[in-house]
Structure 1
Amino acid sequence: MHETVPHWIRRNARPLTTLDPWAPLDDLAPLRSMVGDATIIGVGAATRQAHELSVTAHRILRFLVEELGFRALALEGDDPERVGLGSYIRSGQGDPRAMLARARPFWRTEEILDVVTWMRAHNQRHPDDPVRFTATSRSSGQTPRSGASLDARLADDVIGWHEHSGDRIVYWGGIAHTARSSGRLGGRLRERFGHGYLSVGLTFERGSLPWPVPAPPANFAETALSAAGTDVSLLDLRTRRSDPVRAWLESSASTRMIGPAQDPAEHLSGGSFGGWFDLVGHHRDVTPVHLISA
């Protein structure tokens, strides 16, 4: 890694100053110019099991809805109508904690409960301009569980919702899907929307999930992000850069990609960091999400 790379990251990264999901969104103000006229934002986390990445995704969602007019959330992992959350954010009927306790694993967290609670509160304040979940084909029972067929189905759901509603959409899931890579959901959305699809990667260096996750090898992108010296930051990878920085962004890369039962050594590879993501939100340290009891 060229010594210029951490200096470029340090100069261009915007610090994120709070992990309170309900706090004012002033530190996310740079997102306004970064997002521009994008129609679909893919927020992909290196793991769905980290509290810090979940809260950052929630706060990005809040900013996009409250400040930039996004009105739909595609939340990867289950069908919101199946578990009752679509009805809850529309009407307030039911117990969202009990609904999430019955959902598939990625949704059984206090962090997702905070998101659902915020969506309901937003709709109470803006009954004529609600935020809503996108429709999903999962309830048909025909959705593939993994691979390119799943990504194709997920992309079709997002494209179909946008064509039906005209909503600007936030897709929140894992980087295995949101990265701008051929065959993945992110690659398909970039093909359909061009630069109207923006890929946001949420990365981390080390922590617990709850098993210990050590710092990655030196050639992982997270190593350079942490070497810049900022604990939590938002970085636009499209910012003007020197030849060494461009070479780093465009060279073959690896970055963490950890699922609920995967080896912590699992990682995204076969592409470049600057090819996968337009923006990156990076945390040096993470802690586990808080699980909801059944």
Structure 2
Amino acid sequence: MATAAPEIVREWLSANAQPIADTDPGYTGADLDPLIDRLGAATVVGLGESTRFSRQIYGLQERIFRALVGRHGFRELAIQDSARSGERWDEYVRNGAGDPETVLAGSWRPWRTTETVAALEWIRAFNQTHPDDPVRVFGVQPPSAEPADYDVVLDYVRRVAPDRLAAFEAHLAPIRTAHQVDEHVQRHQGIHPGRPFAEHARDAFALLETLPTTMEYEEAHTRARLILDFHENSVAGQGGFARDERIAGERVIDRQGATGAKIVYWDGIAHTAALGAQLGAARFRGTGAYLRDEFGAGYASVALGFHHGDLGMAVAPDPLPDLMDAALGAVDLPAYYVDLHADAPEAVDHWRRGPAKARVISGIYDPAEDAGANIALASLADAFDVLVHVRETSPVHWLPIDDQ
């Protein structure tokens, strides 16, 4: 079990903390140079955040990414989203197809921020000045349903069986809202309509299979299957966050093998950690564990976290004493990073090689239940190579939610 860090650990952290001058992604000072050089030697760098709601964490994630692109030739960005969404990001940054807001309209909700818009615009500008050596983007998840898929199914029903349209709309209307607010978040917020979305999706799919099979049927059937898979594989559909991310890991591995490019991977710390994590009573083996298996020391794992502050949907208090975030908060700096493999006395090495708990704040976070908002790791230093810590956070800026 993880316990509060002893005084010698706090002293070591203070002595080895490298101050970060600015969390703005456009800042180009030399404060991150040693970190960038260390990460630049890797083939794949996982930049994992403890929450997707912090402007400062996102800013540092973006700062590190830009520096790795500019100084060490990283040319691929892997994102936690479906292959379809990644293809739209890629089309924009390579060819200027569409605009960032339109590109993000079909992306996973946490990406729909002005901070992501700025990231896409920066990559697009870089590619315009490096047309023969562009940055590419891809999603680590298989193709999944998007709001437009529901319209394809409904349009087909409207043409071939208009008398059945109301039945389909009764199933599809409530569940398409999951593309704006995840189903498990709807339950947390008390706005869920009641019946599990996967059940609605299964019923709609079964109804479709009873309809006439015209030339357009196959396309409608494909979209309905995507909708069903989306809801059955969601957090709510699977009954929790725990899962095995072998498919996502293989996606990154295969991409690197095919292109030879150096890759930055953006995701949450449970996904980027280089070994499995414990989420409550469930085990989670994330993408990062497969990347460490494949690349060894060529996979660098960075955890970006915070001490306290405003996340927009909630204000997070100081972390509990047994979290690594509490130990990091003992350093009197607004932001810094520390290399977990730097020289250390035996007592510190015992701490960093031992079990740890790290704060993780998702869309269902409740400050009253802060004690459960974390992941447990068998070894801090085996999970992460570098820790980045921000003392106080403020919220990201959300793009408007459309009515799809």
The TM tier, using the shorter chain, reads over 0.9
Offset, 1:287: 1.0
Residues 147-158 of structure 1: pairs in structure 2 closer than 5 A: 147-149=242-244, 151-158=245-252
Between the aligned residues of both structures, percent identity stands at 35
Q: Which residue, 106, 110, 133 being the options, matches 1:106? A: 110
Q: Is the 8 A contact 1:70 1:167 kept in 2?
A: yes
Change beyond 3 A, Cα 1:175–1:256: same
Q: Which has the higher helix share?
A: 2
- In structure 1, the residue matched to 2:340 is 237
- In structure 1, the residue matched to 2:300 is 198
Q: Is the 8 A contact 1:181 1:275 kept in 2?
A: yes
Q: Give the unaligned 5+ runs of structure 2.
A: 145-225, 235-240, 277-284
- 1:259 equivalent to 2:362? Answer yes
- In structure 1, the residue matched to 2:388 is 281
In 1: Cα distance, 2:33 partner to 2:13 partner: 18
Change beyond 3 A, Cα 1:268–1:135: closer
Deviates further, 18-27 or 50-59: 18-27
- In structure 1, the residue matched to 2:186 is none
In 2: Cα distance, 1:126 partner to 1:134 partner: 19
Q: Is the 8 A contact 2:50 2:361 kept in 1?
A: yes
- 1:132 equivalent to 2:136? Answer yes
Letter in 1 for 2:116: I
Offset, 1:263: 3.8
- In structure 2, the residue matched to 1:27 is 31
Change beyond 3 A, Cα 1:36–1:126: closer
Q: Is the 8 A contact 1:25 1:63 kept in 2?
A: no
- 1:269 equivalent to 2:404? Answer no
- In structure 1, the residue matched to 2:181 is none
Letter in 2 for 1:281: V
Offset, 1:36: 4.9
Secondary structure of 2:69's counterpart equals: helix
- 1:164 equivalent to 2:258? Answer yes
- In structure 2, the residue matched to 1:119 is 123
Letter in 1 for 2:290: R
For residues 50-92 of structure 1, the C-alpha deviation after alignment (integer angstroms, 9 at most, x for no partner) is 1111011000100111011110000113446467221111111
Letter in 1 for 2:44: I
Letter in 1 for 2:243: A
TM-score (norm 1): 0.93
Structure label with greater radius of gyration: 2
In 1: Cα distance, 2:139 partner to 2:396 partner: 26
In 2: Cα distance, 1:32 partner to 1:21 partner: 14
- In structure 2, the residue matched to 1:12 is 16
In 2: Cα distance, 1:272 partner to 1:208 partner: 29
In 1: Cα distance, 2:338 partner to 2:41 partner: 18
Offset, 1:148: 3.2
- In structure 2, the residue matched to 1:39 is 43
Q: Is the 8 A contact 2:87 2:139 kept in 1?
A: no
In 1: Cα distance, 2:307 partner to 2:380 partner: 15
In 1: Cα distance, 2:67 partner to 2:39 partner: 11
Offset, 1:101: 3.2
In 2: Cα distance, 1:55 partner to 1:80 partner: 25
Letter in 1 for 2:324: A
In 2: Cα distance, 1:100 partner to 1:233 partner: 31
- In structure 2, the residue matched to 1:67 is 71
Q: Which residue, 71, 74, 87 being the options, matches 2:91? A: 87
Q: Is the 8 A contact 1:108 1:292 kept in 2?
A: yes
Change beyond 3 A, Cα 1:97–1:83: farther
In 1: Cα distance, 2:90 partner to 2:36 partner: 28
Aligned pair count reads 293
Secondary structure of 1:11's counterpart equals: helix
Letter in 2 for 1:97: E
Q: Is the 8 A contact 1:83 1:103 kept in 2?
A: no
Secondary structure of 2:97's counterpart equals: coil
CA RMSD between the two structures? 1.9
